[in-house]
Amino acid sequence: MFDSLGAVTELPWPTPASGGLFELGRRVAGRGEYRGLTFHEVEAKTILNHVPWDRFGFNWTINPYRGCSHACVYCFARPTHEYLGFDIGSDFETQIVVKINAVELVRAETEPGRWAGELIAMGTNTDPYQPAEGKYRLTRGVLEVLVERSNPFSILTKSTLALRDLDLFVEAAKRTEISVNFSIGTLDPEVWKLTEPGTPHPRRRVEAVARLTEAGVPSSVLVAPIIPGLSDRPDQIAAVEEACREAGAQSVSRIMLHLRPGVKQHFMSWLAMKRPDLVPEYEKLYRDRAYLSNPKRRRSPYRREPKPPEKKPVQTSLPFG
Ligand code: SF4
């Protein structure tokens, strides 16, 4: 995969990523722009994951990667790395599991006659356009199959790498229902650098929404997560919402930071190092709950404005990413 860069180091197998979930595999140490990352190339047994409820508007997901070098400190997916024998901190950010047979599997599992053509969501666990996708191109391969079969899909990402696949999105939007959605929690450069160090600048994500919209590809934004004490001032939230509406986002929704077990411990350790002044407030806010239940407290001025006309998005995807 990395021959063009000459950036491959073979490492011995097995790795913790075997875990019974995957077959075969090898570890590849990244170099150059991938320095510091280790890719665990595995063959997954299946690629379509059934979600046994539809409160998010879909029942099927595909995640070609596990782990994510976008390294968002609040990432809800961190604990899933523990199932593979990794830790939820630096391992989640650097030990990336790559399902190298994802395209072959999606082609087999969505064969006409076998598959009902339901909407498939990507970006529900880890980011399908994280840096690894720049070389492995699995998300693109999966999309090529879905477009060929006119299968509806939605994507949630923080990466402008999605624009690489604009040609596929344009073609897909002509054939079926799709949406390419962005998570943009803040436009504040300090908060961005502090909390999402591996992601593209949020202004570039807003520009990506505009590019998609201009090309006729439906795109919505989750202002997520809104982080108490860091990105929850009304003017901060209003800035994101205004920019995204100007960019043509079909809908702009807010999600407050949630801290479930595992992520909560990781986040609070980080907070104690970076912003110890906020720890007492967080201990109160999240003492006995993972989700903040009082969104009115953080209502934006936009709530008082007449609602602009919105096309209904295909689905809103999961409240994270
Ligand atoms: S929140 Fe999304 S982009 Fe950030 S590390 Fe997790 S999966 Fe990656």
Ligand 1 neighbours by CB, cut-off 6 Å: 68, 70-72, 75, 77, 126-127, 130, 158, 321
Whether 93 contacts 39, CB under 8 Å: no
Residue 225 backbone phi and psi in degrees, to 5: -85, 150
Q: How is 46-58 classified by DSSP, letter by letter?
A: ---EE-S--TTS-
Say whether pLDDT at 150 is over 70. yes
Q: Which of 37, 72, 78, 139 to mutate to test the pocket of ligand 1 (most atoms within 8 A of CB)?
A: 72
DSSP string, 111-151: -BTTB----EEESSSS-TTSTTHHHH-HHHHHHHHHHHTT-
Atom 2 of ligand 1 has which residue's CA nearest to it?
321
Please name the residue ranges forming H helices in 121-233: 133-136, 138-148, 166-175, 189-195, 202-214
Q: What are phi and psi of 49, to 5 degrees?
A: -110, 125
pLDDT digits (tens, 9 = 90+) for 5-58: 444 555 554 555 555 667 667 889 999 999 999 999 999 999 999 998 777 789
User: How many A from CA of 74 to the centre of ligand 1?
Assistant: 8
* DSSP assignment letter at 280: H
Question: What's the 185 CA to ligand 1 centre distance in angstroms?
Answer: 12
Question: Ligand 1 centre from 321 Cα, in Å?
Answer: 5
Query: For 222-248, how does the pLDDT look when each residue is reduced to its tens digit (9 = 90+)?
Result: 999 999 999 999 999 999 999 999 999
Q: What is the pLDDT of residues 64-110, one digit of tens each?
A: 999 999 999 999 999 999 988 899 999 999 999 999 999 999 999 99
**Which residue has 């782990």 as its token pair?**
67
Q: State the distance from the centre of ligand 1 to the C-alpha of 128, rounded, in angstroms.
A: 9
Ligand 1 geometric centre to CA of 281 (Å): 25
pTM confidence score: 0.89
